[in-house]
Structure 1
Amino acid sequence: MSLPGSPRLPYARLPAALRAEIDAALGSPVVAVSPRQGGFSPGPAVVVTCADGRSAFVKAVGTPLNPETPTLMRAEAEVTARLPATLPVPALRAHLEWSEGADEWVALVFDVFDGEAAPLPWTPETAAVAVAGLTELARSGTPCPVAGLPTLAERVDMPLSSWSGLAADPPADLDPWEVQRLDWLGRVPDRLAAGGWLDGDTLVHGDLRADNLLIGPGGAVAFVDWAWAVRGADWIDTVLFSLDAAAQRGVDPEWLVGRSALVAAADPRQVTDLVLAMAGMWAAGMRRPAPPGLPTLRAFQRHFHAAALAWGTRRVAAGLV
Structure 2
Amino acid sequence: MQERIKWNSLPASVRDAIGERAGHVSAARTVSQGMNSALAAVLDTSAGRVFVKGIRQDYPGVVAQQREATINPHVRPLAPALLWRLDDVDGWDVLAFEFIEGRHPNYAPGSADLLAVLAALDTLAALPLPDLPLKDARRRWHEYLDADDAELLGGETLLHTDYNPDNILITADGTARMIDWAWPTRGAAWIDPCCLALRLIAAGHTAAEAEQWVARTRAWADAPRAALDVFARANVDMWADIAASDPQPWKQRMADAARQWADARLVPTSR
Match of 1:309 among 243, 247, 259: 259
CA distance in 1, matches of 2:70, 2:217: 30
Tell me the equivalent position of 1:127.
114
Is the counterpart of residue 267 in structure 1 residue 224 in structure 2? yes
Superposed, 1:235-250 pairs within 5 Å as: 235-249=190-204
Q: CA deviation at 1:300?
A: 3.0
Q: CA deviation at 1:218?
A: 2.9
- The alignment partner of 1:93 has SS state of strand
Match of 2:32 among 27, 37, 41: 37
Tell me the equivalent position of 2:49.
55
Q: For structure 2, list consecutive stretches of 5 or more residues without a partner in the other structure.
A: none
Tell me the equivalent position of 1:11.
7
Match of 2:149 among 171, 178, 191: 191
Match of 2:80 among 67, 83, 90: 90
Is contact 1:204–1:231 with CA below 8 Å preserved after alignment? yes
1:91-120 deviations in Å (ceiling 9; x for gaps):
1111113455xxx32111001123221146
Cα RMSD of the aligned pairs, angstroms, is 2.6
1:275 counterpart letter in structure 2: A
- The alignment partner of 1:46 has SS state of strand
TM-score (norm 2): 0.87
CA distance in 1, matches of 2:204, 2:38: 27
TM-score (norm 1): 0.74
Q: Percent identity?
A: 25
- The alignment partner of 1:227 has SS state of coil
Q: CA deviation at 1:148?
A: 4.1
Is the counterpart of residue 280 in structure 1 residue 237 in structure 2? yes
CA distance in 2, matches of 1:84, 1:42: 20
CA distance in 2, matches of 1:63, 1:20: 18
Tell me the equivalent position of 2:16.
20
Is contact 2:134–2:185 with CA below 8 Å preserved after alignment? yes
Tell me the equivalent position of 2:41.
46
1:225-284 deviations in Å (ceiling 9; x for gaps):
112102112221121112112112257312222322321221122123223212211212
1:7-56 deviations in Å (ceiling 9; x for gaps):
52222222221111111121x1211123333222251322211034x011
Q: CA deviation at 1:144?
A: 0.5
1:164-183 deviations in Å (ceiling 9; x for gaps):
xxxxxxxxxxxxxxxxxxxx
Q: CA deviation at 1:121?
A: 4.0
CA distance in 1, matches of 2:134, 2:8: 35
Is contact 1:285–1:298 with CA below 8 Å preserved after alignment? no
Is contact 2:142–2:150 with CA below 8 Å preserved after alignment? no
Tell me the equivalent position of 2:143.
161
- The alignment partner of 2:169 has SS state of strand
Match of 2:169 among 214, 237, 240: 214
Structure number with higher relative contact order (C-alpha < 8 Å, ≥ 6 residues apart): 1
Tell me the equivalent position of 1:71.
63
Cα distance 1:250–1:216, how it changes in 2: closer, same or farther (>3 A)?
A: farther
Cα distance 1:7–1:276, how it changes in 2: closer, same or farther (>3 A)?
A: farther
Q: CA deviation at 1:286?
A: 2.4
Q: CA deviation at 1:299?
A: 3.8
Is contact 1:58–1:110 with CA below 8 Å preserved after alignment? yes
Cα distance 1:6–1:48, how it changes in 2: closer, same or farther (>3 A)?
A: same
Q: CA deviation at 1:122?
A: 6.1
What is the number of residues matched between the two proteins?
Answer: 266
1:88 counterpart letter in structure 2: L
1:234 counterpart letter in structure 2: A
